[in-house]
Amino acid sequence: MSRLDLIDPESRTPLDALLGMLPGGFNAIPDIVQRRATVQGMMAALDVPDNPNVTKEDRTVPGPDGEPDIMLRIYRPVGASGTLPGIYYIHGGGMILGDVDGEDANATMICDQVGAVVVSVEYRLAPEHPHPAPVEDCYAGLVWTAKNAADLGIDPGRLAIYGASAGGGLTIGTALLARDRGGPALTFMMPIYPMIDDRNETPSSHEITDVGIWDRAGNIEAWAWYLGGKDPDQYAAPTRAEDLSGLPPAFIDVGTVDLFRDEDIAFAQRLMQAGIPTELHVNPGSYHASETFAAEAALSRRIWARRIDALKRALA
């Protein structure tokens, strides 16, 4: 049986359409520049109307010491007064793709539905900028956000960090840096199907070879580019962290047809064993980022409803 047969039928329809246009999926494009342009073009083609309930502002802020400045996009609910909870948002893309624009719709939706200030970070990508550049950019943006909480209208006692896929791995890596450097206090972290294990040894990392959305070959390639020939540390591959104590309460979800399934379940178990309050959801029939590709599917609506509810509860 192909793993494709295990996908929720409603969620599979847009996947089949994507693979019809691009056989093999995005990773079938070997040149990373062309691959990025293809992804950006497909995202730009989506007709996402502006949300009148949210304002957006881009700011350039200091990056890591001795490194370039970074851009942050700040989302705020229209008409909100006083201080609001804050959500620091890290986009996905396997450490090699993606940008703030590509996840603008999700960041806007979270801002609107949670009633929070969302700060989305534009970090450098591999292979041009391997580890630790991406996680250091994310950490620098988090530090700036916390230092400027008053100006941003954020309650520093209600600051969460969110990211999916590579953004999920960077969410955990950034939280580890904040813990180890005595950095900003985080109320909550939401790493969504996080990319956290460079070893590609789990059963699910061997199962997912032909789905077309982040299959085994593409993951191996992305890790090689991200690590740049260096040995991984816990901030690059959080499964390698020996001590998970002191991290914020967590929410993790992943699909049964996602290459990251087993590493994410194991990591959630380790968080619980370390005494970290952790909510874990494994979504039957969901492939990697299916809630984005099949946004109208009932499964996708359930996935998003749980995330929004968890963010509201954590930041109440």
Active site residues: 165, 258, 288
Burial class of residue 245 (count of CB atoms within 10 Å of its CB; 0-12, 13-18, 19+): exposed
Residue type (1 letter), 252 = I
Nearest one of 313, 283, 131 to 192, comparing CA atoms: 283
Collapsing DSSP states into helix, strand and coil, what is residue 255? strand
Q: Rounded to an integer, what distance in angstroms lies between the CA atom of residue 57 and that of residue 172? A: 26
Tokens 């009932």 locate to: 298
Q: Is 299 helix (H, G, I), strand (E, B) or coil?
A: helix
Q: Let me know: does 74 contact 100? Beta carbons within 8 Å.
A: no
* Nearest to 134, CA basis, from 168, 180, 160: 168
Token pair for 247: 């991290």
Residue 89 CA to residue 103 CA, distance in Å, equals 9
